Amino acid sequence: MSVLQLHSLVLYKNGPAKIIQLGDKLDIELESGKTISVRPKDVTLLHPGPVRNLSELQPPPGEVKTAWELLAGETSSLPELAELIFGDFTPASAWAAWQLIDAGLYFRGTPEAVTVRSAAEVEKTQAERAAKEAEKQARADFIERVRAGQIIPADGSYLTDVEALAYGLQDKSWLLRELGQPQSPETAHALLLKLGYWADTVNPYPQRFSLPTAPPELLLPQLPAENRLDLTHLPAFAIDDAGSTDPDDAISLDGDRLWVHVADVAALVPPGSPADIEARSRGASLYLPEGTVTMLPPQATAMLALGLADVSPALSFELIIQPDGQVSLAQVAPSRVRVQRLSYEEAETQLDTAPFNHLSELARLFFERRLAAGAIELNLPEVKVRVDHGQVAIKPLPPLRSRDVVREAMLMTGEAVARFALEQNIPLLFSTQDAPDDGEFPDTLAGMFARRRTLKRSQLRGVPAPHTGLGLAVYAQTTSPLRRYADLVVHQQLRAYLAGQSLINEADVTERVGAAEAVVSSVRQAERLSNKHWTLVYLAQNPGWRGDGVLVENSGRRGRVLIPELDLETQLPLPADLPLDSRMPLIFQHANLPMLDSYFQVAES
């Protein structure tokens, strides 16, 4: 082809241009009418010209398929191709021929060397382009259905990235971008509900916190053959919520001594074993209204939970409680126990009979000692939220004395083990809590709500420090090794000490438990948000729900109200400037499930 000259037709950034000035740099006019200066190497000559006006580059009629068939198996050039298709080589035919080359269906290459594509290649490209166009149209049709809120079953494949965003697995969705909506899990959740693709019963929070939703699939060894202290002659009681499936502690009385038996998890899960590593990565069992995701393989519960078999293996702690509530550890030993399972309600009916009356008295001594040491007792409402086949049930948990007995026995064990570990130089992590901010709070629901806000978070530390909330100078979580990794490490250390084996050093204990505790925060948040999610689903399943709320915070005509029956907080406008702890009848209006917001109206009295 010719050299560049005035009024030549050139290609610049895939568009036509006309040379209007020659020199070291070329001045060219673009299709838009704009004039720019470029280097000669930045343009490609298509036709020597002259081109009067780029708007005249209209494609003339031609025979594209005929030219393609005639040139089959050959190479060509832009001028030859233009003449063969359009009968002449003009700026308009050159531009039209170049567009065919650029389209790449029948021809491809450069102005100097044009390759003619084979019939097979053309057929394949046509099929690919047809499929792409069909997909483009299908996606456009899908977006229209989304805007209309009427999707079809086949649309599920287009919603995968919306689901991934709703689950927190990715941070963007092309569909939300197309709809001009915020890129957030809550927006994605709302869209899936609006389209009916998700039901209210989809709980996104475990996955949103990257938590496993199934128990570990690991095999555990059989219990090792070892001497165990035979305590089967002592009546032992595993007292827990009705329906609990993993009882990991039980209590016995032997004269004036209290025995606390705990599932002997470390017998099957030694440090560094696959189950130990997996439990560390999970931190704790995940308790959801729809079911439990255990920290350990289900086999652990079947083999170790207390009371599931006639005789259960345990790690048992013998405690001596003085009249002033002081506790010491008389011994700790692997044991065999015979455990009877009771619900808190069943135990409550027996607290005035032996041995529960004596157990209750020991618990009272310890509790009064803790109170005298500054323990903080918060009597806030608690409920149990359960889901069965999508139907939600919420059961308030009454403040039973049987719960107090079990709680105090577990706290006694934690304190006694912590002191024992210090005396024997056993590295543990101690559960601590700094003193709360100063303040005077009434002994009312609003007062306890405000007091809770002043409490510091509990922390695990390698050196002992007080746990102010419990009123204990030293404390180590010990009694839930099936449920909490920190407790499992305590058991691993105690077992190694009893067997005369090497202990995990303090740095390694800190690293192991620290890794687990980093996950536990997510576990607890997922549990809390899941409970709230299902509470709002319960309200949706019970439209017009009525109940009482208690004003626990106010700011003028708006207040934060706690609904004890649901253990649910909500904010609402107040009918008057009411004092704290005012009770008011409420009617449920509606809920925003993705935002976890609930809306109530104060009923007329």
Q: Which CATH number is 183's domain given?
A: 1.10.10.10
Q: What CA–CA distances, in Å, run from 27 to 19, 40, 75?
A: 6, 10, 33
According to DSSP H, which parts of 218-355 are helical?
Answer: 274-282, 298-304, 344-348
Sheet of 15-21: strand order equals 35-38, 26-30, 15-21, 9-12, 44-47
Q: Give the three-state DSSP class for 23.
A: coil
Q: Are both 164 and 94 inside the same structural domain? A: no
- Round to whole Å and give the CA distance between 592 and 578: 27
Mean pLDDT of the chain: 95
Alpha carbon distance 160, 175 (integer Å): 10
CB 315 within 8 A of CB 336: no
Residues 130 and 191 placed together within one structural domain of the fold: yes
The pLDDT value given to residue 59 = 86
Judge whether 213 lies within some domain.
no
CATH number (domain holding residue 594): 2.40.50.140
Taking only the tens place, the pLDDT of each residue in 399-458 is 999 999 999 999 999 999 999 999 999 999 999 999 998 888 999 999 999 999 999 999
Same structural domain for residues 449 and 337? yes
153 lies in some domain: yes
Q: Is 482 inside any structural domain?
A: yes
Q: Are residues 296 and 408 located together in one domain of the fold?
A: yes
Task: Name the H helices within 424-474.
Answer: 445-454
Residue 356, pLDDT score: 96
Show which of 119, 140, 170 is a domain's final residue.
Answer: 119
The predicted pLDDT at position 438 comes to: 81
Query: Does residue 469 sit in the same domain as residue 583?
Result: no
Whether the link from the prior residue into 50 is cis, omega within 30° of 0, is: yes
- Do 511 and 564 lie in one domain? The reply is no
Residues 110 and 124 in one domain: no
Domain boundary among 81, 97, 119: 119
CA terminus-to-terminus distance, the chain: 95
- Which amino acid is located at 409 in the chain? A
Do 245 and 99 lie in one domain? The reply is no
Q: Is residue 530 part of a domain?
A: no
Question: Count of CB atoms within 10 A of residue 514's CB?
Answer: 14
Q: Which domain holds residue 311?
A: 229-523
Q: Do residues 273 and 328 both lie within one domain?
A: yes
Q: Are 281 and 222 in contact (CB under 8 A)?
A: no
Of the CA atoms within 13 Å of residue 372, those in its CB half-sphere come to: 9
Domain boundary among 198, 220, 250: 198
* CA dihedral of residues 201, 202, 208, 210 (deg, nearest 10): 110
Give how many domains the chain has, as a whole number: 4
Nearest to 409 by CA among 237, 235, 251, 240: 251
Q: How confident is the model at residue 1 (pLDDT cuts 50, 70, 90)?
A: low
Same domain? For 234 and 308 the reply is yes
Position 562 confidence tier, pLDDT thresholds 50, 70, 90:
very high
Quickly list H helices, 149-172. 160-166
Query: Residue 336: what pLDDT?
Result: 98
Helix H or strand E encompassing 261: strand 257-263
Whether 337 and 252 have beta carbons less than 8 Å apart is answered as yes
Check whether residue 256 and residue 403 sit in a common domain: yes
Q: Model confidence at 245, in pLDDT bands (50, 70, 90)?
A: confident
Please check whether residue 409 lies inside any domain of the structure.
yes
Q: Is residue 214 part of a domain?
A: no
Give domain status of residue 297, yes or no. yes
Residue 536 lies in a domain: no
Q: State whether 194 and 297 are in the same domain.
A: no
Rounded CA separation 476/464 (Å): 9
pLDDT per residue as tens digits for the range 67-85: 999 998 889 999 999 999 9
